[in-house]
Structure 1
């Protein structure tokens, strides 16, 4: 019984999308716009064709994923426990998992909060250097990432506060990359990763972290985007924009 019986007709439309490049990489990162149902239908279709051994989720902690992996009927409950909303639009992904193991890569919230005070390298642990967390970013990249965080937060916070958010992003990218590599070692290729497009970008996201930590491991990053903004992926697939309220309206005054 599928998790969402209303999905299959729509999912069939996406099964006609082109296959990934051949040969398939060891780790395939499937980026997304979190609130876009069509992005998740596309990810589900790729998973159905890819037949990965494991799928690593940005949204689930290791414990939440263990619960979902042990009992597929408990997936919705594990999702609710994670604090992520809109399980219904993610349900097609779980319908398309097949026999793939469910792996959680979300860092505990308390660890993420401590990045601001203790630093990403300290929180990550002994392997921080392997993922580059023990070195400063080049100034041009840091400035670009500050600006992206500033815009993502509706320009409502001082620009100088963005360095902490950049550090959190680097920490989370490294945590996701480590989880994907551990899944690859445990289950074999191919492994898929479900994460936001910001984490899937090839220049400094999960693929770049993996390339630094494990140069012999191949990756392929596919971004499901609402428009081609020039963010680097190995491939993009443009999906219709989701209907949504202005996310910055609470910061706007008359």
Structure 2
């Protein structure tokens, strides 16, 4: 009888866990799952247009609820923001305020709907990424290695190695990892400041790549325990193993296959 009861309890817990892990069916259902929270970290696959559409819809829904406190973006460097812009500002004004470069690797047309949804709502869009001018300094900042546990540091180094398809020389792994750590720390610091500026009852959205919002490796490691936050990962096709720690998963259709390693080899080939 005890064994049967234990089995039923285990089965019930498993079923509840399975239900909780099911992707929400709509943006309102998603927000009902992850709110209230001071910060909502939305991870994306950069080449999946549905993910930027999700970010826009989340920003619009939070604004409608009167809960939007701002948007922090990986795509913009620290020190740039739309704080001085009126709600009827044009795209050119927003782009100039954010220092959005046409050759910066982030197509304005892709992220403009997210930015302008926040501007129209009167919520600031703030750059969260490490300024490019500080990347070389970060590469030599060995103190960054001590900010996280050794096993986490090693996992980050493996992620950098794998993300660059094994094409980096061994001596480049540690410096390149420090850039990733510095970027995560910069976004975390910006997010904390944005939450403080937004005040109680508001939610600040962070828009970044999935790797940056991972609880085990990314921005959450640098957030104070007093700051409530939720992690949403958007994935094209199917969920990944590293998504298991997310508070919610948003699945979209698979993107056309690309050989990222072949593209990287071409970019790194000597000219």
Q: TM-score, normalised by structure 2?
A: 0.73
For 1:151, the equivalent position in structure 2 comes to: 162
Q: Distance in 2 between matches of 1:16 and 1:67?
A: 27
Q: Distance in 2 between matches of 1:239 and 1:103?
A: 27
- Alignment partner of 1:223 is 2:225: no
Give structure 2 stretches of 5+ with no counterpart: 1-24
> 1:14 Cα deviation (Å)?
6.5
Q: Distance in 1 between matches of 2:83 and 2:124?
A: 11
Q: 1:142-197: CA deviations, max 9, x gaps?
A: 33222211111121113452122221111111110110111111122311111111
Give structure 1 stretches of 5+ with no counterpart: 1-12, 122-132
> 1:72 Cα deviation (Å)?
4.3
For 1:56, the equivalent position in structure 2 comes to: 72
Q: Is the 2:156–2:217 contact (alpha carbons within 8 Å) kept by the matching residues of 1?
A: no
SS in 2 for 1:228: coil
Q: Distance in 2 between matches of 1:230 and 1:141?
A: 16
Alignment of 1:1-254 (within 5 A): 18-21=30-33, 23-51=35-63, 52-66=68-82, 69=85, 71-73=89-91, 74-77=93-96, 78-80=99-101, 83-97=104-118, 98-119=121-142, 121=143, 133=144, 135=146, 137-188=148-199, 189-210=202-223, 214-226=224-236, 227-231=238-242, 232-243=245-256, 245-250=258-263, 251=265
Q: 1:66-95: CA deviations, max 9, x gaps?
A: 488464432344322681332222122124
Q: Distance in 2 between matches of 1:72 and 1:115?
A: 35
Q: 1:39-60: CA deviations, max 9, x gaps?
A: 1111111122223111111111
Larger Rg: 2
> 1:20 Cα deviation (Å)?
4.1
SS in 2 for 1:56: strand
Judging changes above 3 Å, is the alpha-carbon distance between structure 1 residues 184 and 164 closer, same or farther for their aligned structure 2 residues? same
Q: Distance in 2 between matches of 1:82 and 1:106?
A: 16
> 1:32 Cα deviation (Å)?
0.8
Judging changes above 3 Å, is the alpha-carbon distance between structure 1 residues 249 and 69 closer, same or farther for their aligned structure 2 residues? farther
Q: Distance in 2 between matches of 1:134 and 1:183?
A: 26
